[in-house]
Structure 1
């Protein structure tokens, strides 16, 4: 496979925002270019061109991380209207080469290159060198992917874990669950562990307390909780505890002895309230597998450019991650 042509544009494209960065050469740190609203243009080609046309030197290749399922060289966003055809996008933008990845494939790849200063540890566990690592987290939706390493080669395993079902497990959840589930055809991880889910938690807590819930966004709930508002604070605590429970369950699925990493746009902003949520007992409370679950570590990725660094690492050595795959790479 020919090496990627540099410079390279990387884009982390979620349901709400699209972050673009430029990588000059293999091994270089991505340089932020722009953050634009997803859907600000009719097509991703138009949105990317609006940024690339401002550069003195156009990129020759691209790695694009898309928050949705992939089919070879094509992808679509789950929570927005953009669709992606890699070869057609490359021709439209004059790119020589490119690759589409799931957004959490990029997050999983970043685990190979981020350092201790890029994470905050919530549960120390007993991590195993070379063990499977799992990254997951809420944003506009909910994503998860694993980084599996065997014999010096890593494989990225994207999932659609946000769409699995979830139910109540403790008395607090049982009390508010009817309000959480109201209007949903099916209660999934993503319907509760996302920006909309945080608002849903706030509404359920307010209803259960006999309060009149104001018209708020997820950002508003976070701000109110940090200011000590009782309903918002309880909503965030419930959100944190469900996130820890789901993280522990998915750690069992993947036997993530290398550690579990929480990522995405929401979790770092809620980090100051994590200590109020008794996460360790929920994360590791997995009878009859408590002994295994006690070994899992839980971290928060605080580096805002982790996904872009993951894409840069993929472009520098796609074979390192099992992505030297002619069924997925595309050429201009």
Structure 2
């Protein structure tokens, strides 16, 4: 397969909080990191990207941008920030010849075709099938999920908005703290609880249920406190892990992810020291009456920080491999 993109190709993983930019010099080459910038530090994506590109001796000729939000052809809107993307407009503003917008979890799903064992930690072994559908999901500023189905050298990526699925309590601890979790949200969703803000909500709900005075903390603070043994923070992380295992198992059933489930994002790798594999496996596989199927699902954590960029580089090398050579999505100056 040959790439229709002219190189060098700018690849960017653009979330609600941070934007990571890299350059792919030629088809099949690894990405070369350029910069990490704050999404909120610039009024538009054009301004943010130009601030980095203006420092380069060789500007990119194409771009593949992974955006944390739903796509509409050649346009996209960040869910948790105010940036709007218009592909042809971006091309003109930045002097690009061509480009492609993908959902951020499409990029992560593409990375599943190139990640190495060293990039992963396995929590639940399962019985994965070599050509089974693989599912990637995870919490960050929001919550995303996408699937990869490969047949030989060709495949298809399936982005979703699974983070906006409604969710309710299941176990006794969840029933106790759920009123506090629900009180501050118009609708309780997967993203509302399995995200950075969600971890803070769990901490607040646990503290309220325990009659403790809750400190004003961030998600990173909750993680640090939990690693230091703080009771409220530790219980918040335990609740977070259980819900993540439940949602991962439910989505695995929805997609019949016999190729494995992969947790991505910046939050979960920091929480790995507090993971209880036995509990996670019990919750992940505990899906009556479908336990026999669920026990086939494997669960992994992507621990490398550049999975999205690896996926974007793979797309840049051969977009047709992932069904992304669609003229309705490609854009030109």
Q: What TM-score do you get using the length of structure 1 for normalisation?
A: 0.98
Taking only aligned residues, the RMSD between alpha carbons, in angstroms, comes to 1.1
Aligned residue in 2 for 1:53? 54
Contact 1:237 1:277 (C-alpha < 8 Å) held by counterparts: no
Q: What CA distance in whole angstroms lies between the structure 2 residues aligned with 1:259 and 1:206?
A: 35
Aligned residue in 1 for 2:269? 268
Q: Say whether residues 1:279 and 2:280 are aligned partners.
A: yes
Q: What CA distance in whole angstroms lies between the structure 1 residues aligned with 2:290 and 2:269?
A: 29
In the TM superposition, what whole-angstrom CA distance separates every residue of 1:226-285 from its partner, at most 9, and x where no partner exists?
111111011001000000000000000000000000001111111111127710000000
Aligned residue in 2 for 1:131? 132
Aligned residue in 1 for 2:112? 111
Aligned residue in 2 for 1:23? 24
Contact 2:3 2:27 (C-alpha < 8 Å) held by counterparts: no
Aligned residue in 2 for 1:157? 158
Contact 1:241 1:277 (C-alpha < 8 Å) held by counterparts: no
In the TM superposition, what whole-angstrom CA distance separates every residue of 1:115-158 from its partner, at most 9, and x where no partner exists?
10100000000000100000000000000000012354210000
Q: What CA distance in whole angstroms lies between the structure 1 residues aligned with 2:152 and 2:278?
A: 38
Aligned residue in 1 for 2:186? 185
Task: Give the number of aligned pairs.
Answer: 332
In the TM superposition, what whole-angstrom CA distance separates every residue of 1:67-122 from its partner, at most 9, and x where no partner exists?
00000000000000000000000110000110000000000000001110100000
Structure 1 residue 31: deviation in Å? 1.2
Q: What CA distance in whole angstroms lies between the structure 2 residues aligned with 1:90 and 1:300?
A: 35
Q: What CA distance in whole angstroms lies between the structure 2 residues aligned with 1:160 and 1:231?
A: 31
Structure 2 gaps, min length 5: none
Q: What CA distance in whole angstroms lies between the structure 2 residues aligned with 1:27 and 1:270?
A: 33
Structure 1 residue 41: deviation in Å? 1.0
Q: What CA distance in whole angstroms lies between the structure 1 residues aligned with 2:292 and 2:14?
A: 38
SS at match of 1:278: helix
Structure 1 residue 2: deviation in Å? 6.8
Aligned residue in 2 for 1:315? 316
Q: What CA distance in whole angstroms lies between the structure 1 residues aligned with 2:163 and 2:230?
A: 29
Aligned residue in 1 for 2:92? 91
Aligned residue in 2 for 1:168? 169
Contact 1:65 1:102 (C-alpha < 8 Å) held by counterparts: yes
